[in-house]
Amino acid sequence: MAPSQSPPSFAAYVFSKQARDVAQDTARLGGWSDDNIHGGGLAGAARLVADRPLAQHMIAEIGNESLSQACESVTEIVRSGTRLVVVGQHDSICTYRALRSAGALEYLPFPVRGSDALASLTQKVANADQPVKRALTIGVVGCSGGIGASSLVENLAYVARQDPIAQRVGLLDFDLWFGSMAHDLNQDPTSGLLDALAAPKRVDRTFADASMLEIKDGLFLYSHQARDGQDATELEAGIGPLLDKMSPMFDIMVVDLPRALLLRQPDIAQYLNALVPVMAPGYASINAYSRIMQGCLNENRTLKLAPVLSDLRGGAALRKKQIAHAIGQEFQTTLPLCEHAMIKAQLAGQPVVCMKRGARYSGNVRSLWRTLSAEHRPQRSSFWRSAFQKVIA
């Protein structure tokens, strides 16, 4: 194809006469030429695609390739700018979901009518000019061990779900080595997390709803440890893409991120709106904070930092002002020592904010949530401001 030549309006890559007939019927109904109907199927089209699309609209027939290979072919074709409909013999929801997730406009199992293929190729996406809604994603990282970072994640997620702005909240435990959030909340571990991390691009709303655990109305949990020879480090590579894929499915996502993970993969920060480093009053926490934040801010210059000081462990007992001066950042709140409330919550498999709503710990978590969510709340005009604006309009 010459560089100045635009791609044809329609093309098809098929194997069977059945698919060729569908392609010809689609071309006729769409007022397109049927000169670009070729053999080779989906895989053949993927091998030919380059920087420019083979056609503006395409029908491709899936052959004997595996579903994973077919998904890769779909991604390659769609990435070039082609609107693609896949047809084939496989009549399964698994095939449908995988090909749609890979980028196909539609998957149509035979028998297929040309009118159905044309409708899928020419469909207009509702509100196409509107940006896709994405979740407010809050990461929490403990700068030292045993200072209540995971407990804060649980409590923050419960507080977020009680807020009217959050109808769907995702609670994600990404400590694949020793994460115990499911056990803390008296729930069964969710093995679907490991499947999602192994193939994050294939995760859709249906899979997420089926594999996550709804521990409260609108609050969904992912928490599972890698076992039986599974390589947790390899699975961790899917965390960033999974956060990106799941973001449109939720209003809020609260994520437990181990400090070692952020040191290895600071690029995860690009998928976060805010990061809450939980610090103990000791030198080790200051050192960890410095190392973690340097990498994360290099990846996401707009990342909002909301440091929290934990009094659950003494350490060197540095003063709050000393630590704030050392890190160059004021603390958003403090997690006070509350042994009895923590013990009661652990025994009940519930967060402190549910067991002891009036406790200082619960109030501080709610205050932190208001700070983190302030920019994502709808702006309300006062009565007098609205009246004034009408007068000067």
pLDDT, tens digit (0-9, with 9 covering 90-100), for 70-86: 999 999 899 888 999 99
At 202 the pLDDT is 87
In the predicted structure, residue 142 carries a pLDDT above the cut 80 = yes
What's the mean pLDDT when you consider all of the chain?
Answer: 88
Residue 377 has pLDDT above 50, yes or no: yes
| pLDDT at site 37 | 95
The percent of residues above 90 in pLDDT, for the chain, comes to: 64
Domains and CATH numbers, the chain: 10-122 (3.40.50.2300), 136-376 (3.40.50.300)
Residue 389 has pLDDT above 80, yes or no: no
Q: What's the CA dihedral at 245, 246, 251, 252 to 10 degrees?
A: -110
Of residues 227 and 270, which shows the higher confidence score? 270
- In a 3-state reduction of DSSP, which class is residue 100? helix
pLDDT digits (tens, 9 = 90+) for 249-266: 999 999 999 999 999 999
pLDDT tens-place string over residues 31-51: 999 999 999 999 999 999 876
Locate all alpha helices (DSSP H) within the chain, ordered by sequence: 17-30, 41-48, 67-79, 93-102, 114-122, 149-161, 181-184, 192-198, 205-211, 232-236, 239-246, 259-264, 283-299, 320-327, 339-348, 352-355, 360-373, 383-392
* pLDDT class of 336 with cuts at 50, 70, 90: very high
* Per-residue pLDDT at 125: 47
User: Residue 380: what pLDDT?
Assistant: 56
**pLDDT (tens digit, 9 = 90+) per residue, 157-211?**
999 999 998 999 999 999 999 888 999 999 999 989 999 999 998 899 889 999 9
pLDDT of 334 above 80: yes
Torsion sign over Cα 17, 22, 23, 27: positive
Whether the ω angle into residue 111 lies within 30 degrees of 0, i.e. cis, is yes
**Residues 6+ away with beta carbon under 8 Å from 75:** 102, 103, 201
DSSP SS3 for 139:
strand
- Write down the residue that tokens 């009246």 correspond to: 387
Rg from Cα positions in the chain? 26
What torsion, rounded to 10 degrees, do the Cα atoms 28, 30, 32, 36 define? -80
The predicted model gives 8-27 an average pLDDT of 94
Tell me what the mean pLDDT of segment 235-241 comes to: 93
Q: Which of 15-29, 67-81, 120-134 has the lowest mean pLDDT?
A: 120-134
pLDDT band at 1 (very low <50, low <70, confident <90, very high): very low
Residue 315 pLDDT exceeds 90: no
The full DSSP string for 297-348 is HHH-TTPEE--EEE-SS-TT---HHHHHHHHT---SEEE---HHHHHHHHHH
